[in-house]
Amino acid sequence: MMILSNSIFLPNGMEAIQAEYKEFPLEEFNQNPLIQALPPLLDKATIIRKLMVKPIYNDEEKHAESIYRIHMINRLFQLYTPLPVHIDVWNMIHTLILQGYLARNPFDKNYKKYINDSGKEIINRSYEINSRQNFRTTSSCGTFIGFSGMGKTTTINRVLSDIPQVIIHNEYKGIHFNQIQLVWLKLEAPSNSSLKALCLQFFMKVDELLGTNNYKKYVSRNMSVDSMLPLISQVAHNIGLGLLVIDETQNIKKRGAEQIMNFFVYLINTGINLCLIGTPGAYDLFGKELRMTRRLTGNAEIIYNNMQYGNEFTLLLESVWKYQWTRNFVPYNEEFGKVIYEETQGISDLVIKLFVYSQQQAIENGKEELSIDLIKKVAKEKFRLLQPMLNAIRSGNPHKIAKYEDIRKIELEESDIRKSKELKKEEPVKKKKEDKVKATENIEEPKKKGKRKEYKEDDLRYLLQRGNEEEKSPYQVLLEKEFIEDTSKWIEVEGI
Ligand SMILES: Nc1ncnc2c1ncn2[C@@H]1O[C@H](COP(=O)(O)OP(=O)(O)OP(=O)(O)O)[C@@H](O)[C@H]1O
Ligand SMILES: [Mg+2]
């Protein structure tokens, strides 16, 4: 969190900052209190400085007893070295927040009307996504996808930690303006989580941060995801939410991929900016359609798979190399670089771990210095279970890599894997009613009109078709037919 002199405490004990309005060199920014209260944009050098984290280190520590030095080495897990891709992430996050607020100026008449109307519609339960008339969103979605262990979560946390999260407004340009602004909110999908759990997490995190009681007020346990969505959207507008970040999206239960897609598109279409983070497995959930919108609207997508052997990798490795707690310091040379690359295949997490474990081993075995043989030996022991995955990356063969979901290479264009997978897959479930939720101004899909298709009774598509005719949501249908569990039960068990 930024240390700012103008920080205040909310009644629930959380820290917030009092809005101070800056002048930006862009006129359109200077009409909007939600933008003017944000920190100024920074140049590259400052961004790097802000992102960087160096571990505590001093030469004297080399003389400490080995038992303590082994602990000191663990400080390397705190280290963070900004690489070029992280500047892109920084810029993506800031752009999403700024662009989102541009469309949502609390002093804009159309926007105010939209908020009022949609609030009433929720109360009357007549909320329809297509009912917006005067409000055009500029909201969009950023995606940050990469192999497990590349540092996505760490990077997002570094970037967000420099943006004030809660800002309090009282007066703007001499006008009374009472508003809480939640600049960003980060949710995390726990393993095998449902959309419902994610919705509940949203309400609970907002309440925790702002001391509100949305959860108690609006959310009941047997509420469906479909009915929670408009509420999320309304709450997000009320608290001036700038960006909703959802990490580990690949963990969302895959059974309802279509519903998940609808969920995201709905949020985007109601003016909430999203940043979705995950491993390549997440593409099964939202890949295709979001990428389609991206092409049309210029949404941002950052792909960060394993590093190649080259500048980026060497920069990371050299940035850690100076932190040696072994008695003898061994200078970096290319041979080390090559061996460490070979053993880690440019996965950041493994690079750091290999360097840490090798030093610890060197201290434990009394040799007190790093060597090629030692590094190879440690990699062999510690990464034994990872070998099939690392071999797949080494082979560069997309079919082999595809077997390990999290390290699947994403090709920017349709890859071989996708094509062959699609050939195997059945035609995806057609949808009609849910198209309303999914309806987007951005995606112009050819209308799939036509005759009612005949499916067998146990076919999922038959059930969805029937549900559609009976005006049931796909969620309801799947629940009734026991294709999915009742998430409210699941939530109770999980104690959420
Ligand atoms: N730029 C970096 N500088 C230093 N260490 C890094 C960097 N990036 C990643 N790491 C190391 O990699 C570890 C794993 O990173 P992180 O958990 O953020 O990866 P992830 O991409 O979110 O993985 P997953 O997809 O499994 O959640 C970090 O704990 C850190 O030790
Ligand atoms: Mg992560």
What gap in Å lies between CA 496 and CA 491, rounded to an integer?
6
Nearest atom, ligand 1, residue 406 CA: 25
The one-letter amino acid code at 327 reads R
pLDDT value at residue 268: 82
Nearest atom, ligand 1, residue 353 CA: 31
Q: What is the DSSP letter of 249?
A: G
pLDDT value at residue 218: 76
Measured at the CA of 470, the angle between CA 469 and CA 472, to 5 degrees, comes to 105
Nearest to 250 by CA among 286, 289, 200, 213: 286
pLDDT value at residue 6: 78
Closest residue to atom 24 of ligand 1, CA basis:
148
For a pocket test of ligand 1, which of 50, 54, 154, 354 has the largest count of ligand atoms closer than 8 A to its C-beta? 154
Nearest to 76 by CA among 437, 349, 356, 343: 356
pLDDT value at residue 134: 41
pLDDT value at residue 464: 62
For a pocket test of ligand 1, which of 87, 320, 348, 405 has the largest count of ligand atoms closer than 8 A to its C-beta? 348
What gap in Å lies between CA 149 and CA 339, rounded to an integer?
19
Helices (H), 162-282: 195-210, 214-218, 225-238, 257-269
Ligand 1 centroid to 331 CA: how many Å? Answer: 25
For residue 452, being part of any structural domain is answered with: yes
From first to last of its 496 residues, what are the pLDDT tens digits of the chain?
Answer: 444 457 888 877 788 999 999 999 989 899 999 999 999 999 999 999 999 999 999 999 999 999 999 999 999 999 999 999 999 999 999 999 998 898 888 887 777 777 666 666 655 555 454 444 444 455 578 899 998 899 999 999 999 999 999 999 999 999 999 999 999 999 998 877 888 889 999 999 999 999 888 888 777 767 888 888 888 988 998 999 999 999 999 888 777 677 788 888 888 888 888 999 998 888 777 766 666 555 445 568 898 989 999 999 999 999 999 999 999 999 999 999 999 999 999 999 999 999 999 999 999 999 999 999 999 999 999 998 888 889 988 988 777 776 766 554 444 333 444 444 444 444 444 433 333 333 333 333 333 334 455 666 656 666 666 666 666 665 565 556 555 544 444 333 333 3
For residue 448, being part of any structural domain is answered with: yes
Coil, strand or helix at 158: helix
Nearest atom, ligand 1, residue 156 CA: 18
Nearest atom, ligand 1, residue 147 CA: 25
Ligand 2 centroid to 406 CA: how many Å? Answer: 11
For residue 257, being part of any structural domain is answered with: no
Residues bordering ligand 2, an ion, CB closer than 5 Å: 153
The number of folded domains in the chain is 1
Residue numbers of the domain that contains 481 = 435-494
For residue 328, being part of any structural domain is answered with: no
pLDDT value at residue 315: 96
pLDDT value at residue 489: 40
Contact in structure between 339 and 372 (CB atoms under 8 Å)? yes
What gap in Å lies between CA 53 and CA 36, rounded to an integer?
28
Q: Which residues line ligand 1 (CB under 6 A)?
A: 77, 79-81, 83, 146, 148-154, 248, 279, 316, 348-349, 352
For residue 217, being part of any structural domain is answered with: no
pLDDT value at residue 441: 31
Ligand nearest to the CA of 279: 1
pLDDT value at residue 107: 83
For residue 476, being part of any structural domain is answered with: yes
Distances (CA, A) of 330 to 79, 364, 369: 20, 17, 7
Ligand nearest to the CA of 347: 1
Structure token digits, residue 33:
């209190």
Half-sphere exposure of 340 (CA within 13 A, CB side): 30
Coil, strand or helix at 270: coil
